[in-house]
Structure 1
Amino acid sequence: MCAPCHLVTIHGHPAQAREHGWIVPSHANPATSPIHRFDGRWYLPGDAWRPTTPPEGDTP
């Protein structure tokens, strides 16, 4: 994502970004925080980007 799009999409809409795992709270471990990707699936970040389920209570 280019810098202008990052600023508008991620930092311009922090609540939505948190729901999708695009922003992780400072107390959370990013390696264990699922990310909702452009393909509609949830993944755990890392070398293998393992598919996972959405966090409890989250169904964007």
Structure 2
Amino acid sequence: MSPQKGRPPSENPKNVEVKARLDEQTARRLLAYCEKLGITRTDALREGIKRILEDEKK
């Protein structure tokens, strides 16, 4: 039997895709924020969603 190839399965797979349309100003601000922190747009959006949901609990 050959060893398994490829990456191991993720504990939290990201298999849901979300598409959003942004105005130019918001897109520029998001890009500047990401460049400043050295993160991807996806990571910034995940963090924003997380913060919104945490604030909802309060």
Is TM more than 0.5 here? no
Which is helix-richer, 1 or 2?
2
Give the TM-score taking structure 2 as reference length: 0.26
Greater Rg over alpha carbons, structure: 2
Q: Which has the higher contact order (CA 8 A, sep 6+)?
A: 1
Which is strand-richer, 1 or 2?
1
Give the TM-score taking structure 1 as reference length: 0.25
